Chains A and B, each alone.
Chain A
Amino acid sequence: MLPTPDTSHIPTSLVYDPVEDSYLLLDTFSSPSETAFLKDHFPLTSPSAPQSPSPIPVVLELGSGSGVVSAFLASNARHIFGRPVLSACTDLNPHACRATAETIRKELSQRREDGAGDGAGVFLGVCNADLEGPWVSGAVDVLVFNPPYVPTPDLPVRPDTMRDSADGEEGDRREPTFEEEEYYLGLAYAGGYDGMEVTNRLIERLPDILSARGCAYIVLCAQNHPEEVKQRIRDMGAEWRAETAGTSGKKAGWEKLQIMRAWRVHQS
C-alpha cells in the first residue's frame, strides 16, 4: 500500500473532500495491471533509439480539487510510471487551486524528509481554468479527470455576486457568500444531463489535448452509461481504444463507479 496524501488543510465548505472516487483513482493507478501498462507505455528509452532517453511524461489533472490524486501520482511516480513525471493541474474553483498546490507541496516535501524524494515527480503548477484552459495542443501524456458525474437537472450557475473577470485584488480572499459556496461545491459533482455534460465536452477535446502517446483516465458512474461512453471513444477512429482500468466492484449486481482509460494506438 502506498501512503495517501494528507488533505487535512482543506476548507471543506469550498473544496470537495476526497471520497470514494478519488480513492478508486489511487487504487487503479497503483494496481499491478495499471503500473504495468504505464511502464510499458512510457519506457525510459524509445525502442527505436535505445541510446537516448524518451521524453519525460506530462501528467495533467483537470478539476484537481483537493489535489490528492495528483499528489499521489507525483509522489509515487517511480512506482507508478517507473520514472519521474511532470505534474500539473487545473481547477475552475480558485479555492481548489490553492488546496491542490498545498496538498502537492506538502506531500512532496514529506517525501523528501522521508528520504524518498528521489523518484518523485516535478510539480509544475496549477492554473485556475475551465478544463484544460490554456494548455497547448498535444502536450498531455496522461490526462486525469474525476468529473462532476452526478446527473442533475442543471449545471451550477455562477452567482451574480462574483466578479466577471475575477481580476480584482479583493476578489478571492474575502469570505465567500452562501451562494458562492453552493456554486463551488456544485461544480465538483453536478454533471447535468446523464451526468455527462462536462465529460462530453472533455471527450470532444481529447484528440486535441492528448499527445500521440497520450492516454486519459476518466471516472464514470453507472448513470453515465459507461459502455456507451467507451463505444463513442472507439467510434472516434480505428486508432482509438477505451477500456475499464478499475472498478469499485459490483453492488447489488451493478457497478457503481469505474475508471475508463482512453488512448490511441499507433499503426507502425
Chain B
Amino acid sequence: MRVLNLNFLSCAVKACKVTNTSFPLHPKDAELEQDDEVVYKPEVLVSLLPRLDWVALRTTCTELGFPQLPEQAPTAEELQADEKLMADLHRLLMETHIVGGRLVCGSCGHEYPIREGIANFLLPSHLV
C-alpha cells in the first residue's frame, strides 16, 4: 500500500474508531519499497492537499524516517511555490509503498500484519 493510503485508515475495531488515538495507525518493522509508477504532477499534489490530515501525515512521515514536514499544512499557493516540499510529498505519498511489517493501533494495541503490500484488517472473533 502506498503511504498515502495510511492517511485514510484507522483501527478496524468499532470501539477504537471513535477514539482519536486509533488514527493514524503506527507502522512497525515497516518494509518500504519505492516505485516511479505515478507521474510527478504538481496539480495532483495541490488537489490532494485539502484531503490530507496534516497532523497524521507528519506523524507517519516521522515514524517512517522521512524528512520532517512543516508544522502547518501549506496553502495551495505556498505548496506550488515550494518545489522541494512538493518533491518530498510526491516521494513520500506517491512513490513509497509499505510492503511488509505491521500497523499498530494506538488505542487498543492491535497489530495488523502487512504481507505483499496488503494489510490484513480481519479481526479475531473476540474483537468483532
Contacts and interface: CB of A to CB of B under 8 A. Distances in A.
Give the interface size class of chain B.
35 or more
Nearest to A124: B5
A136 interface: yes
Interface string B25-57: 100000000000111010110111011000000
B120 A122 contact: no
Interface in B60-117: 76, 94, 97, 112-113, 115-117
B9 A127 contact: yes
B51 A55 contact: yes
A164 B125 contact: yes
B118 A124 contact: no
Interface residues of A, number: 41
A97 B1 CA distance: 12
B20 to A, nearest CB: 11
A256 to B, nearest CB: 32
A39 B76 CA distance: 22
A136 B8 contact: yes
Contacts of A123: 2
Contacts of B119: 125, 127-128, 134
Interface string B6-33: 0011111000010000010100000000
B5 A136 contact: no
B43 A53 contact: yes
A126 interface: yes
B6 to A, nearest CB: 9
A53 B125 CA distance: 44
B47 A94 contact: no
Given A53-B46, A92-B122, A101-B117, A136 B2 contact: no
Interface of A: 52-56, 58, 83-84, 86, 88, 90, 92, 94, 97-98, 101, 108-109, 112, 117-118, 122-130, 133-137, 139, 164-167, 172
16 contacts: A52-B76, A55-B51, A56-B47, A83-B47, A112-B37, A122-B94, A123-B2, A128-B118, A129-B122, A130-B122, A133-B12, A133-B121, A134-B11, A139-B8, A166-B120, A172-B115
